[in-house]
Structure 1
């Protein structure tokens, strides 16, 4: 679950790059997060938070569900494309029992897990997941494999030029919003990643999570849940303060914060320029706004999927994901700061 609708607007204003046969812009991309980034880790877990059934993946190249909560590709895939990787980094749990793991880790790994949160106790009712702390532990094993294979100096150099993308918070907000006084704090797992070679971080803020179909359906007039949006703004403020502190404390630490909230609000309030016609309802689901349940094999789904902002009650469509990544990659300062993702890569 998540609507931290991470790295995704303004495709028409962004240059399109083709990296076929070209050298990637970064050696590797390591992704941490929840269902916005999960490319199949939860398929290996006993969990209710899985996207392994139709109609997920209906627009994916294989036309089959892959574990992505999307009709096709999502943000993690478009990030990989944007930096010139030939394939999206694989789910970590698909690699753990394979031999020659160091070679499999070379271009990055995806640790994201649907329903995962910053806190280990977030949404326990959904079953197994990989929370942030465990994702960082898994990354530590990847680091050790790379050091064993290439030596400490070479591994450190490669990792210092790689991107580390952390997308968290929405699942925690959904969980803690059920309590009288929700408190969302971003823990400093960056310290541990930093100690294992990470230097370049991309961190999106939360989007207006109260405007997800799954939140709108709680209103008799289909309005956004402003209380949820309020907490999303508070979270974003705290995250930015923490990043500024880390920048002053850690030598070589560089980051890009992504203003997902403003970008998605722009789409919702003025969808036509982006090619969207539906901002409230989900493309796939059940009941009012297609938001009374997740996308299931018995669900109906829209035929004009590129015109829907949301694929299901919680997750963006492939079209939205593509727009977000394009926007943030070369973003002007009002959406990504203190520098754009492309500028971060160039450091």
Structure 2
């Protein structure tokens, strides 16, 4: 009898200890999770592998030397030496990096609950922006795909629970650069059909329409990255004998960002529960380019990985390309995209930064609201 009581008592203690350890483990693994899920929309700046599944696209990064500093040291489809802004934002939120939507559909996975990435290299706000790259997923189609995901989540969890999760999830959007490149890189005759001001106004209107669709699907917390000073990337400098920035492209980006800010302010007053962080990518990226040493960079003009020309900007980052030995010294990884080091500064500033760069509230304040 005494032996039986001892066993019961011993098992009871073990059970309590096990439960205690489970609670500690749960807090450790889940305590830093700030949002239920992260849904990412955009272009190559945040593509984590969707374009790997587009057979006709030439906008791909699933080959060396891309991914050289990624945890696996292998190319994944990210246009970066390592992690990109989508990965780093997920880290800040305590989430795993959202998987590419097309990977999930190819594997017939239904695991959408912690987030999905719909971003695609070459994508634009406008359909057809990707003509140079033959195939991508434009923003309109990305939102279509999210509609499918929203339906699956609702089917799995029920409407009330699904809406609760989506309303607390983060919807990050990084897009517009390819639209700017498309217009300001086109012929003069094409530009004469519509003025720069008219073009960026139409960009804002189109973006606003897709943002409203995401709201109607249940999104409430949005992180919107403005278009950077894209005229200062190596590909644009390379077209100038003095290696100066393409100020026409920067003008377009800046004007688009102003219109975007106005559109977001309108929605905050018009749409119930609509909350957002606007990140001034233009200003922060310009700081990195104009004052690189302050941020720990030694090279702010040339691409780390590329080929030919003073800025290594005649070729994309290909297996035959050369690349710099210390990627953290460079702002740019290739002729268009930042290094992981530059992206970390951008995401850190969006997450914790002052109202000067992330407003009306930063991402940390957004998820806590």
SS of residue paired to 2:366? helix
More helix by share: 2
SS at structure 2 position matched to 1:256: strand
How far, CA to CA, are the matches of 1:222 and 1:100 in structure 2? 47
SS in 2 for 1:21: helix
In structure 2, distance between residues paired with 1:97 and 1:299: 31
* Farther-moved stretch of structure 1 (27-36 vs 189-198): 189-198
What is the rounded CA distance, in whole Å, between the counterparts of 1:191 and 1:48 in structure 2?
A: 31
> 1:254-333 maps to which residues of 2 (within 5 A)?
254-288=275-309, 289-333=311-355
Write the mapping of 1:1-347 to structure 2, written as runs, cut at 5 A. 21-23=29-31, 24-45=33-54, 46-85=56-95, 87-99=96-108, 101=110, 104-177=111-184, 178=186, 179-180=190-191, 181-182=195-196, 183-184=199-200, 185-186=203-204, 187=206, 188-288=209-309, 289-347=311-369
Q: How many equivalent pairs are there? A: 326
CA deviations 1:30-80 (Å, max 9, x no partner) are 000000010000000020000011100001111110000000101000001
Q: Deviations over 1:178-197 (max 9, x none)?
A: 14234131222111111111
Regions of 4+ moved over 3 Å: 97-100
Cα deviation, residue 98, structure 1: 3.7
Decide whether the 8 Å contact of 1:34 with 1:117 is kept in 2.
Answer: yes
- What is the alpha-carbon distance in structure 2 between the residues aligned to residue 243 and residue 195 of structure 1? 15
1:125, 1:118 → 2: CA distance?
A: 15
Deviation, structure 1 residue 127: 1.4
Q: Aligned partners of 1:256 and 1:144: how far apart in 2? A: 26
SS of residue paired to 2:76: coil
Q: SS in structure 2 opposite 1:281? A: strand
Partner of 2:5: none
Are the equivalent residues in 2 in contact too, given 1:20–1:84 (CA < 8 A)?
A: no
Question: Counterpart of 2:35 in 1: which secondary structure?
Answer: coil
SS in 2 for 1:31: strand
User: Which sits farther off after the overlay, 263-272 or 49-58?
Assistant: 263-272
CA distance in 2, matches of 1:84, 1:242: 30
CA distance in 2, matches of 1:118, 1:220: 31
Q: Cα deviation per residue 1:222-281 (whole Å; 9 max; x = unaligned)?
A: 111111111111000110011111111110000111011111111111111211000000
Provide the residue aligned with 2:17 in structure 1.
none
Gaps of 5+ in 1: 1-18
* Runs of 5+ consecutive residues of structure 2 not aligned to the other structure: 1-26
**Counterpart contact for 2:66–2:80, Cα < 8 Å:** yes
Larger Rg: 2
The CA deviation at 1:99 is 4.4
**What's the CA shift for 1:290?**
0.6
